[in-house]
Amino acid sequence: MEPRITQIEVRRICYLFSVFCSLFICSCAQTRLPPVGRESTEKPIQPLNPQEVKQSIDRLISQNFEFRLEFSKPEVKGTFKGEKVNDRVKIEGCWKFGSRFAEAPARQAEKEKFKAIGIGDREYRWIHGKWKAQERTSETRPISFLSLVLAVEEYKFKNIKNGFLIYEFKPNLLFMSPTAFEAQGELWINQKSELPEKVIVTQPASPSDDKEELFWKFEAKNIGKPIKILNPLAKIQALKITAVQETTMQEFQKIAQILTKRFKLYGFKDVKYKFKKDFVTLYFSSSFLLEDSLYQLVNKLTQIGKIELYKAEYPKQPVYELKEVWFVNNDSTKPILLKEKLSYPDSIGTGKLIDVDFKPGAFGSHTIELTFDKDLPQKTIIVLVVDDKVLKLFPEVWGKTLELTGDKETYLKIKFPLPCKVKTID
């Protein structure tokens, strides 16, 4: 006999089913609709401390970026845009001078366009359709003014706006006006990159204490993007080098290598050479304004060097009793007697001079190294004479090298002779 379900049990089942449905609906509602008043689990934004702000500024200045600069004071206004990479700056814009920049029709104002490139200590300005070079001015050093404005001790966090941490500070604006004591500044730092992207400085006019109305604004964008700023006057030059005597291919290659080294030493860029059948073409980038200046330096770099080497000895009697005496580096306390002139660059005792090299050193302590193919004779005093001046004394030399301190000019005078002639290629 099958069991029968009583009416009470039916009611109990229906009640449990209704409770289950209610719980299910509530859980779904809780999933879709967050309860009112629940606090966010996200951490509050922590502003940078003053030291971190300064580090952020330093990181910006060390990077490449594009910028926009605006500033104004009574009778002067400037609006510029540009690019910065290392110490190179490309900038262009407009100066306005006159009665509040001719805002009303009756007023008159002067407008002057400006376009320039700053590289190292040189500046290249676009004037009357041509690039002209001059010493670098502050107009191509806008980043130095940014550093000056931000050279302060305290940055006070103000608020967050549109993804930027905004700080207030007391700017250094004295380079614009000696009355810039009440100027106020805002530094906008990108919340994600933690790099400054905007600086705004203002000072309202105050006729009672002769304070001028001032405005200075700097914006950086595309921070870290690759930027190339080239010397606008640089152009590729070419030299044709031919041998003036019987020269092997190995010797010819040595000549090209020596010339390449010299041109790089003197700051020429993109220096390279290419061999042909009976000559070498040397290519390099030059920014010389005057062709005469370029030719003079090329002639200097490619001329045949001239030095004299002597065997020498120290005088045994007083200097005043000697008929002919030399002094090392014109120092009267270092007399020397020149005895036997050694041929150059042929045999010197048992060695032959094969190269003269320049080795830049720290703090101007450069070294010039003369290299021989064999060890020089022992217990021999050798004197180096350049332009009838005893430049260096090598007492009791031993080994294949002789070293002396000297600058690039000295190096040019004593460099290894080149058995070649050089002419420019148009």
Long-range contacts for 157-163 (Cβ within 8 Å, ≥24 apart)? 157/47, 157/48, 158/186, 160/45, 160/191, 163/190, 163/191, 163/192
Query: Going residue by residue through the chain (426 aa), what tens digit of pLDDT does each one get?
Result: 445 555 556 455 555 555 455 544 444 444 444 444 445 455 566 788 888 999 999 999 999 999 999 998 888 899 999 999 988 999 999 988 875 544 544 445 678 899 999 988 889 999 999 989 899 999 999 999 999 899 888 899 999 999 999 999 999 888 888 777 788 999 999 999 999 999 999 888 776 666 678 899 999 999 999 998 888 887 777 777 776 666 677 777 777 777 787 777 777 778 888 877 777 788 877 665 445 566 677 777 776 555 677 778 888 878 777 777 878 777 777 888 887 776 544 444 445 666 777 777 766 678 878 777 777 666 777 777 766 677 677 776 667 777 777 777 666 666 555 556 666 554
If you count DSSP H runs as helices and E runs as strands, how many of each does the chain have, helices first?
Answer: 6, 24
Domains of the chain with bracketed CATH = 50-221 (2.50.20.20), 235-302 (3.30.1070), 308-420 (no CATH)
Produce one character per residue of 310-340: b if its CB has 16 or more CB atoms within 10 Å, e if not.
bbbeeeeeeeeeeeeebebeeeeeebbbbee
Q: Cβ–Cβ contacts within 10 Å for residue 398, how many?
A: 11
Q: What residue has token string 């104004």?
A: 72
Report phi then psi at 12, rounded to 5. -65, -40
Cα 235 to Cα 50, 89, 123, 287: the distances in Å are 47, 20, 17, 6
Distance, CA of 208 to CA of 211 (rounded, Å):
8
Q: For residue 259, which of 294, 306, 300 has the smallest C-alpha distance?
A: 300
Q: Cβ–Cβ contacts within 10 Å for residue 396, how many?
A: 11
Q: For residue 112, which of 122, 123, 101, 121 has the smallest C-alpha distance?
A: 101
285: region left, alpha or beta (phi > 0 left; psi from -120 to 50 alpha): beta
Amino acid found at 300 = K
- Angle at which helices 291-302 and 249-265 pack, to 10 degrees? 130
Write out the H or E segment, with its range, that includes residue 413.
helix 408-414
